Amino acid sequence: MNAAAAKGTTRVGKIGLLASIPLGFQHLFAMFGATVLVPLLTGLDPAVALFTSGTGTLLFQIITKGQVPAYLGSSFAFISPFIAAAASHGLPYALGGGVAVGLLYAVVGFIISKIGVDWIDRFLPPVVIGSVIMVIGLGLAPTAVDMAGLSSGLGSLASPEVRISLFTIIVTIAGTAFFKGFLAVIPILIGIIAGYLFALTQGVVDFSAVREAAWFGLPHFMAPKFNWSVIAAILPVSLVTITEHLGDVLVLSKIVGRDYYREPGLHRTLLGDGLATSWAGLFGGPPNTTYGENVGVLAITKVFDVAVIRTAAIMAVVLSLMPKFGALISTIPTAVMGGVSIMLFGVISASGIRTLVESGIDYSHKRNLVISSVILVLGIGGAQIGVGSFQLQGMALATLAGIVLNLVLPKDR
């Protein structure tokens, strides 16, 4: 571990205020599309989602003693249960389920504070967690490809979306590989700006929402309501998001070179994530989760200063109070975000490979081969198993299968 990583800073030292602004914008852009997409799909207010994302991230930073450079945004895992709960009972009751999920996080964090994290090495050894990290990134791959307009039957150069996404990813890769000095730490932001300017030349940017939006205004907050049947339907989704949290915190630990499971402690990161989720539900925002997109930005830029994350969080809050500026950001074409997401999600997957390599996992040992194979296929394939209304699917099912296989398969050759 190098000295910079040990202090939680960067290869370029402590970030100053002026430098933190463009770096904060980079994180803001990385999370913006996904964070506002969840409320758009579930019927919530995107401005509220930005507000609860920013304030939730600041709350997380307080609880984790400002040591973990994680950004919290809207969770995709709750889209389906929120839509179902809204249809049967109404959106306020779905928000009540989100509040309950956050409190469950706090309970799990309290248990971990009492029993420690040594059990993680037994139940989630590197062969399991490295494979799960790969699933986190690769599971998002179809989303990035669809956003970039490169899915089957659509990837034609005659499409402006394809041209935009390809131009964006080329600039982003070039910036990551060849830029020097300060430009080397903001390749994602440069890629987004370049892609946006190119999109303007393609005539696909619509400014009508910007013209109609007000300069200042409060988001449309909504209070939660509680119903036990709705809570019971939404709570199982926490298995997915807690697993995702474990993976994201481990990826951060590997990237930064610190063991966040032990300091500030997994109990603190879970508590921070949970309280941020409950906080969001109280104001009418979707549940929060640690964001893989921002983990990817950290991996590419090597800038780990938590001040940058706080800057991005404050920017998100400011944007939630400035509808016109928020509308301008929302004019960034999906293809631009798809182009940068291809690299961001790929970096997450590569972090899983790094975990396996650095841990010395021997794949000539059939036990390791079987565990990784099952996790990857179940997780990426989107497998699901249900008993009544209880469902395990995707990453949660893959993780559970990996844990079971690790416990029952003999460790001797």
- Give the rounded distance of the alpha carbon of 297 from its chain centre: 11
Q: What's residue 62's pLDDT?
A: 94
Per-residue pLDDT tens over the stretch 58-71: 999 999 988 888 89
Poorest-confidence range of 105-119, 135-149, 278-292?
135-149
* Band (23; pLDDT cuts 50, 70, 90): confident
Decide: pTM greater than 0.85.
no
User: d(Cα 192, Cα 309) in Å, to the nearest integer?
Assistant: 18
Whole-number pLDDT of residue 3 = 41
**For the chain, what percentages of helix, strand and coil (3-state, to nearest 5) are there?**
70, 5, 25
Question: In this predicted structure, what is the pLDDT of residue 360?
Answer: 84
Q: Which tens digits make up the pLDDT trace of 4-14?
A: 444 444 444 46
- What one-letter code names the amino acid at 106? A
Is the confidence at residue 144, as pLDDT, over 90?
A: no
Does the pLDDT at position 52 exceed 90? yes
Contact predicate 248/290, CB 8 Å: yes
30 burial level (CB within 10 Å; 0-12, 13-18, 19+): buried
Question: CA–CA separation, 92 vs 311, rounded Å?
Answer: 30
* Per-residue pLDDT at 101 exceeds 80: yes
Please, where are the H alpha helices in 11-45?
17-42
DSSP E strand boundaries for 53-190: 72-74
Strand partners, 391: 386
**What does residue 273 show for φ and ψ, rounded to 5 degrees?**
-65, -45
| CA–CA distances in Å: residue 274 to residues 56, 100, 162 | 10, 9, 38
Q: What is the pLDDT of residue 413?
A: 56
pLDDT in tens, 255-310: 888 888 888 888 999 999 999 999 999 999 899 888 766 777 777 777 788 888 89
* C-beta separation of 78 from 289 below 8 A: no
- The answer to whether 60 and 70 have CB atoms below 8 angstroms apart is yes
pLDDT category of residue 136 using cuts at 50, 70 and 90 = confident
Q: State percent of the chain over pLDDT 70.
A: 86
Summarize the confidence of residues 92-118 as an average pLDDT.
Answer: 89
The helices-and-strands tally (H runs, E runs) of the chain is: 20, 4
Give tens-digit pLDDT for 199-243.
888 887 878 777 777 788 888 888 999 988 888 878 877 776 777
Q: Where are the domains of the chain?
A: 15-125+148-340
- CA 186 remoteness from chain centre: 19
Lowest mean pLDDT across 79-83, 277-281, 284-288, 398-402: 79-83
355 close to 258: Cβ distance less than 8 angstroms: no
Instruction: Quote the pLDDT of residue 1.
Output: 38
Burial class from Cβ neighbours inside 10 Å (0-12, 13-18, 19+) for residue 12 reads middle
> Which DSSP state fits 303?
B
Binned at pLDDT 50, 70 and 90, residue 184 comes out as low
Contact 405, 370 (CB under 8 A): yes
Rounded to an integer, the average pLDDT of 138-148 is 79
pLDDT tens-digit series, residues 152-178: 666 576 778 888 888 888 888 888 778
pLDDT of residue 51: 93
Instruction: Read off the pLDDT of each residue in 379-386 and give the average, rounded to a whole number.
Output: 80
CB atoms within 10 A of CB 259: 15
